[in-house]
Chain A
Amino acid sequence: MPLNLAYPGELSLAILPELVLFGGAMLLALWSAWKPESASHQRSVGLAGLVLTLVTAALVIVFAMRGYTADTGPIAIDAFRWAADLILLLSAAIALAMGVEYNARHGIFAAESHVLVLFATGGMMILAAARDLMVVFLAFELMSIAVYVLAGTNRRNERSAEAALKYFLLGAFAAGFLLYGIALVYGATGTTNIELIGERIVSEGLGDSRMLLAGMAMLLIGFAFKISAVPFHMWAPDVYEGSPTPIAAYMAAGVKAGAFAVLMRIWIEAFPDAFLDWHYAVWWLAAITMVIGNVIALQQRNVKRMLAYSSIAHSGYLLVALAAGTPAGSSAFLFYLVSYTLATMGAFAVVSVAGRDGGEALTMDSLAGLWKASPWLAGAMAVFMLALLGFPIFGGMGFFAKWYIIQSALQSPSPQTRLVVVLVLASVISAGYYLHVVMVMFMKDRRDDLPAPARMGGLNRFVIGAAAVIILIIGIFPDALATFTRDSAVPAGGAAAQVRMSSASTSR
């Protein structure tokens, strides 16, 4: 059913899931301010937030099945948006579930932290839906500002405050780049609509316009900050280390996914015909990010910093899917994102409970001999590590995620064989630190003074168990998810779209 986004009624129908999420989040914000801070109030707000994400996810599924479409306008209504929304809501739900128990353990009683997660998620969902660069910027800020505050939720911890400030300053800087890039692209093409940009690049032959080139470069830099691609990654390890663990997990998975989703859409829908202009920039960004991220991760002995560098490396893998520059690349991206979200957030969840007295396992040593003390936890962590490594069967869907990216990069009209070789060699480097975790847990003896991990709460247990089981099952039967992501690709833009439309009109 085509919607005409010029009518306010139909526009609001198009963003109904986001509206529900925002409306619910505002009510929760009121409720959280209603009562004094306490552990139980924090818990009930968090649980209500969890319910709200599930309701929104249900609504997204309903919308996806109703088959709405829109030809033009600032909001995209397509399968890619719904698929990305589901992944973003998944990461939000995991972050909330982890957060409820983490906050209770660490004396963070500010119930607003859960509400901010919801606001940030709403921002990301609009990012995934944005088809106009102005909407992109608004959504980008909506997401970022909520996350700046989240990074500093642990007010008693000075590292948390440092993380928030650092993230804010660098994020503001990145936003500046983004806005300037939008302005330049507008200057070159005369529009901020993503689809129109793609068409005008073809129709007006803007392939070698300097202004467009500069605009694309600025946009890429702005996004590279958010997805922490090297050399714009410096903030990530410090911020992840300082932030509360559920928030770090949320940043590593959700925030990155949101920024990447819109990056994919802009690049595939607006810039496919400027492929030669941006290709080498993305190529080198991907290659450097993979290599540097993995090499530095090797040296980390703090688990959260290690996971931060690992998430940087994974940005590099995702950039390979972008470098393919095809809709198939965006399918591979969606598949990868499911695997990456589950594995990374699962790993952070294990870290948040596996240490001394049920506290955080901050150093590798505190994971030593975890197999003896808590075999299930160690087994799940091993699955997450092998999934991030991209190992078949034991790492479940992590393998097929890498596989899909490699396949999409090789199937691109200009096959990215060399970039793929860099990808697999970087994966070998990553074996060094992922296996180190497995080795420490399974092959080292537990230090005698290290008590067994405390019994974790039900939510945490469910998150870790469900993530591991899903990873393993999809690792054996990936067909359903692969088909779903294939059908959720970003529609090709530019010349390809014109060909598509003209063939549709002639067939009519």
Chain B
Amino acid sequence: MTDFLASTGYSGWILPALLALLVLGALVVWVHGIVTHSDDPAEQARAAQGARRITLAFFVAEFVLSVGLWWAFDPSTSAWQATVSVPWIDMWGSRFSVGIDGMSLMMVLLTTFTMPLAVLGGWTSVKTRVHAYHAMLLLLTVGMLGVFMALDLLFFYVMWELMLVPMYVIIGVWGGERRIYASVKFFIYTFLGSLLMLVAVVYLGIKAGDPVTGTPNFSYDAIISTVQHSPTAALWLFGAFFMAFAVKVPIFPFHTWLPDAHVEAPTAGSVVLAALMLKLGTFGFLRFAMPLFPGAAMDPAVRMTIITLAVIGVIYGSLVALVQPDFKKLVAYSSVAHLGMAVLGIFALTRESVQGAMMVMLSHGLSTGGLFLLIGMIYERRHTRLFSDYGGIAKVMPIYGTLLTVITLASIGLPGTSGFIAEFFVLIGAFKTVPWMTFVATIGVILGAAYMLWAIQRILYNPLDKRENEEMKDLNWREIGLMTPIIIAILWLGLYPRPILTRMEASTTRFVQQVEAGSSPSATAAVPGGR
């Protein structure tokens, strides 16, 4: 396989091709929408079906293309791979520069893996303006992949903001009852967080720039290896990046946009938000906020504050999830808890905990994505998400019951599923550096089991006492088909995570060393940056 890929020069074109394919897809869907425009409902339905198929085809092609990265990636090195760099805006010293390391490899694959499933998940629920909806999904994915690959801070920022508008429109146009409120809240929160980062990005670019001509330089490597900050400046800059990522993760108390956005978004929107977009925040810490400003991030006061907030998030998210009457809201709050665990792992800064944080990101992507898809399926049948309207569903929908149980067990971290590996790694890693906080976070894991099990009990196992529920049809082939890959991935991550861990190991180790070296006071002059 590796030889075959090398013979096509795979690494030389794959990353730009992944972005270009999606842009092309969005254009094709858009043009298809214009060409097939008609007032006849039957024609409209046919055109809509066409849009779904085109989008699915593009996303499947995207996944097939990206899978080659698995083999083309060399796990022995932490250097950037598959890099492509062409001039973009010479005058501002910005290049279209992309590349991946082990961490971004996994995030790219998670994205390309999830998107076709998200499209299938919204196959029948989105009925109006279908073309625009799918074009937005395609553009949204461009932004996410762009952030994971970007090696130029200006390009990164553009991609980071690019995601905002499609998501805003997806929530606001195809969402639930309070969609407008939720979409505006989502936009303003994220925009506020990221604009301060814009100032920090410009500042860094100017600092790394050519002192004679004044041309800035936004290359990640150049910035990390040349720019020196005073502790105060580093703290402010870290703060600006922190705000952007903390809102995205979200870290308590910046999380209040999340329940609204998740609940009001259509199924595919919730899947993308929970499975992928939240990870952009944690990924931002791993790629940008901490390596760029190790001194500020590892300042004891800053670090403990963030870890405390993360642990509060774990406990608070779990407790609030426990009392939710609405299944979707419960899962939304559970995301706050899980991502708190990931942040704990990142800031605990041991090799195990960082590996664990990456595993939490992957595992949460799979399990929460799966949960939102499953919620979407019963919502389409009954148009309610309240626990009190369900009960005994397992009797009428046995396949659904099985799938929901498996995904739930993955979410609470039963051994043998991805969730176990993830939380286990975070906890043993973090215990070395922040034992008390880790102890408190462990309580969150127990609470997690409580709210998830209680939730599926109320949905699946209580007496079947509502007549409407007796009529519910079990899953059809499309729905089974779209859940199968998720189940397989969850079990694979849980039973044999080694190939994944090896691919990430070099990058996570480098991350830990880089941050440790940069934060130790004696070594401020010799930041091991230039890769």
Chain A residues close to B by CB (< 8 Å): 328, 386, 391-394, 399, 403, 406-407, 410-411, 417, 420-421, 424-425, 427-428, 431-432, 435, 439, 442-444, 478-479, 482-483, 486
Interface string of B175-200 (1 = CB under 8 A from A): 00001100110011001100110110
Instruction: Give the distance in Å from the alpha carbon of A173 to the alpha carbon of B348 in the complex.
Output: 65
B92 on interface, CB distance cutoff 8 Å: yes
Which residue of B161, B162, B173, B206 is within 8 Å of A411 (Cβ)?
B206
Instruction: Give the distance in Å from the alpha carbon of A411 to the alpha carbon of B208 in the complex.
Output: 12
B172 on interface, CB distance cutoff 8 Å: yes
Contact A410 B203 (CB under 8 A): yes
Q: Chain A's nearest CB lies how many Å from the CB of B391?
A: 35
Which residue of A391, A392, A428, A479 is within 8 Å of B192 (Cβ)?
A428
Chain A residues, Cβ within 8 Å of B183? 439, 443
B91 on interface, CB distance cutoff 8 Å: yes
Contact A392 B161 (CB under 8 A): yes
Q: Chain B's nearest CB lies how many Å from the CB of A413?
A: 11
Contact A428 B88 (CB under 8 A): no
Contact A406 B198 (CB under 8 A): yes
Chain B residues, Cβ within 8 Å of A439? 172, 180, 183-184
The 10 closest A-B pairs by CB, nearest first: A424-B195, A392-B158, A443-B172, A482-B91, A428-B192, A479-B89, A394-B165, A392-B161, A393-B162, A483-B91
Contact A407 B92 (CB under 8 A): yes
Chain A residues, Cβ within 8 Å of B89? 478-479, 482
Contact A421 B202 (CB under 8 A): no
B216 on interface, CB distance cutoff 8 Å: yes
Contact B173 A443 (CB under 8 A): yes
Which residue of B88, B191, B199 is within 8 Å of A479 (Cβ)?
B88
Chain B residues close to A by CB (< 8 Å): 88-92, 154, 157-158, 161-162, 164-165, 168-169, 172-173, 179-180, 183-184, 187-188, 191-192, 195-196, 198-199, 202-203, 205-206, 214, 216
11 residue pairs bridging A and B, Cβ less than 8 Å apart: A392-B161, A393-B162, A393-B165, A406-B202, A407-B216, A410-B206, A431-B187, A431-B191, A442-B173, A479-B90, A482-B91
Instruction: Give the distance in Å from the alpha carbon of A386 to the alpha carbon of B166 in the complex.
Output: 13
Instruction: Give the distance in Å from the alpha carbon of A420 to the alpha carbon of B214 in the complex.
Output: 19
Chain A residues, Cβ within 8 Å of B203? 410, 417
Instruction: Give the distance in Å from the alpha carbon of A393 to the alpha carbon of B159 in the complex.
Output: 9
Q: Chain B's nearest CB lies how many Å from the CB of A51?
A: 34
Q: Chain A's nearest CB lies how many Å from the CB of B33?
A: 9
Q: From A478, which residue of chain B is reached at the shortest CB distance?
A: B89
Contact A421 B199 (CB under 8 A): yes
Chain B residues, Cβ within 8 Å of A328? 214
Q: Chain B's nearest CB lies how many Å from the CB of A506?
A: 20
Q: From B94, which residue of chain A is reached at the shortest CB distance?
A: A479
Given contacts A407-B206, A479-B89, contact A442 B172 (CB under 8 A): yes
Instruction: Give the distance in Å from the alpha carbon of A476 to the alpha carbon of B195 in the complex.
Output: 19
Instruction: Give the distance in Å from the alpha carbon of A424 to the alpha carbon of B161 in the complex.
Output: 14
Given contacts A403-B202, A424-B199, contact A411 B214 (CB under 8 A): yes
Given contacts A393-B158, A410-B206, A428-B195, contact A435 B184 (CB under 8 A): yes
Which residue of A393, A399, A407, A425 is within 8 Å of B202 (Cβ)?
A407
Q: Chain A's nearest CB lies how many Å from the CB of B386?
A: 25
Question: Which one of A386, A403, A406, A478 has the highest number of Cβ atoms from chain B below 10 Å of its Cβ?
Answer: A403
Instruction: Give the distance in Å from the alpha carbon of A286 to the alpha carbon of B264 in the complex.
Output: 39
Which residue of A386, A403, A483 is within 8 Å of B165 (Cβ)?
A386
Instruction: Give the distance in Å from the alpha carbon of A358 to the alpha carbon of B319 in the complex.
Output: 55
Instruction: Give the distance in Å from the alpha carbon of A394 to the alpha carbon of B166 in the complex.
Output: 10
Chain B residues, Cβ within 8 Å of A407? 92, 202, 205-206, 216
Chain A residues, Cβ within 8 Å of B164? 391
Instruction: Give the distance in Å from the alpha carbon of A194 to the alpha carbon of B162 in the complex.
Output: 44
Which residue of A386, A399, A417, A421 is within 8 Å of B158 (Cβ)?
A399
Chain A residues, Cβ within 8 Å of B169? 442
Given contacts A407-B92, A442-B172, contact A392 B196 (CB under 8 A): no
Q: Chain B's nearest CB lies how many Å from the CB of A406?
A: 5
Q: Chain A's nearest CB lies how many Å from the CB of B154?
A: 8
Instruction: Give the distance in Å from the alpha carbon of A392 to the alpha carbon of B88 in the complex.
Output: 15
Contact B173 A392 (CB under 8 A): no
Chain B residues, Cβ within 8 Å of A391? 161, 164-165
Q: Chain B's nearest CB lies how many Å from the CB of A412?
A: 10
Instruction: Give the distance in Å from the alpha carbon of A432 to the alpha carbon of B184 in the complex.
Output: 8
Chain A residues, Cβ within 8 Å of B198? 403, 406, 424
Instruction: Give the distance in Å from the alpha carbon of A407 to the alpha carbon of B154 in the complex.
Output: 12
Q: From B171, which residue of chain A is reached at the shortest CB distance?
A: A443
Instruction: Give the distance in Å from the alpha carbon of A424 to the alpha carbon of B201 in the complex.
Output: 13
Q: From B174, which residue of chain A is reached at the shortest CB distance?
A: A443
Question: Which one of B90, B157, B191 has the highest number of Cβ atoms from chain A below 10 Å of its Cβ?
Answer: B191
Instruction: Give the distance in Å from the alpha carbon of A428 to the alpha carbon of B184 in the complex.
Output: 12
Instruction: Give the distance in Å from the alpha carbon of A391 to the alpha carbon of B205 in the complex.
Output: 19
Instruction: Give the distance in Å from the alpha carbon of A411 to the alpha carbon of B88 in the complex.
Output: 21
Instruction: Give the distance in Å from the alpha carbon of A410 to the alpha carbon of B162 in the complex.
Output: 24
Chain B residues, Cβ within 8 Å of A386? 165
Which residue of A421, A428, A478 is within 8 Å of B191 (Cβ)?
A428
Given contacts A411-B206, A431-B188, contact A425 B172 (CB under 8 A): no
Q: Chain A's nearest CB lies how many Å from the CB of B461?
A: 39
Instruction: Give the distance in Å from the alpha carbon of A435 to the alpha carbon of B90 in the complex.
Output: 32
Instruction: Give the distance in Å from the alpha carbon of A444 to the alpha carbon of B157 in the complex.
Output: 30
Instruction: Give the distance in Å from the alpha carbon of A428 to the alpha carbon of B216 in the complex.
Output: 25
Which residue of A394, A428, A479 is within 8 Å of B188 (Cβ)?
A428
Chain B residues, Cβ within 8 Å of A421? 196, 199
Instruction: Give the distance in Å from the alpha carbon of A417 to the alpha carbon of B206 in the complex.
Output: 12
Given contacts A392-B157, A486-B91, contact A427 B206 (CB under 8 A): no
Q: Chain B's nearest CB lies how many Å from the CB of A446?
A: 14
Chain A residues, Cβ within 8 Å of B184? 435, 439
Question: Which one of A391, A392, A444 has the highest number of Cβ atoms from chain B below 10 Å of its Cβ?
Answer: A392
Chain A residues, Cβ within 8 Å of B196? 421, 424
Contact B188 A432 (CB under 8 A): yes
Contact A420 B172 (CB under 8 A): no
Chain B residues, Cβ within 8 Å of A417? 199, 203
Q: From A391, which residue of chain B is reached at the shortest CB distance?
A: B161
Chain B residues, Cβ within 8 Å of A394? 162, 165
Chain B residues, Cβ within 8 Å of A483? 90-91
Contact B202 A410 (CB under 8 A): yes
Instruction: Give the distance in Å from the alpha carbon of A428 to the alpha carbon of B243 in the complex.
Output: 14
Instruction: Give the distance in Å from the alpha carbon of A428 to the alpha carbon of B173 in the complex.
Output: 22
Which residue of B88, B195, B214, B216 is within 8 Å of A425 (Cβ)?
B195
Given contacts A407-B92, A410-B202, contact A427 B195 (CB under 8 A): yes
Q: Chain B's nearest CB lies how many Å from the CB of A478?
A: 6
Chain A residues, Cβ within 8 Å of B179? 443
Instruction: Give the distance in Å from the alpha carbon of A442 to the alpha carbon of B205 in the complex.
Output: 37
Instruction: Give the distance in Å from the alpha carbon of A50 to the alpha carbon of B321 in the complex.
Output: 64
Q: Chain B's nearest CB lies how many Å from the CB of A144?
A: 36
Q: Chain B's nearest CB lies how many Å from the CB of A493?
A: 19
Instruction: Give the distance in Å from the alpha carbon of A478 to the alpha carbon of B184 in the complex.
Output: 29
Q: From B158, which residue of chain A is reached at the shortest CB distance?
A: A392
Instruction: Give the distance in Å from the alpha carbon of A431 to the alpha carbon of B205 in the complex.
Output: 26
Contact A443 B180 (CB under 8 A): yes
Q: From A395, which residue of chain B is reached at the shortest CB distance?
A: B165
Q: Chain A's nearest CB lies how many Å from the CB of B90?
A: 6
Chain A residues, Cβ within 8 Å of B191? 428, 431
Instruction: Give the distance in Å from the alpha carbon of A262 to the alpha carbon of B295 in the complex.
Output: 46
Q: From B187, which residue of chain A is reached at the shortest CB distance?
A: A435
Given contacts A443-B172, A443-B179, contact A393 B91 (CB under 8 A): no
Q: Chain A's nearest CB lies how many Å from the CB of B140?
A: 12
Instruction: Give the distance in Å from the alpha carbon of A425 to the alpha carbon of B169 in the complex.
Output: 23
Question: Which one of A420, A439, A486 has the highest number of Cβ atoms from chain B below 10 Å of its Cβ?
Answer: A439
Question: Which one of A407, A411, A443, A478 has the highest number of Cβ atoms from chain B below 10 Å of its Cβ?
Answer: A443
Instruction: Give the distance in Å from the alpha carbon of A399 to the alpha carbon of B169 in the complex.
Output: 19
Chain A residues, Cβ within 8 Å of B187? 431, 435
Q: Chain A's nearest CB lies how many Å from the CB of B128?
A: 10
Chain B residues, Cβ within 8 Å of A411? 206, 214
Beyond known contacts A479-B88, A483-B90: 10 more, CB 8 A cutoff: A392-B158, A393-B161, A420-B199, A421-B196, A421-B199, A424-B198, A425-B195, A427-B195, A439-B172, A439-B180
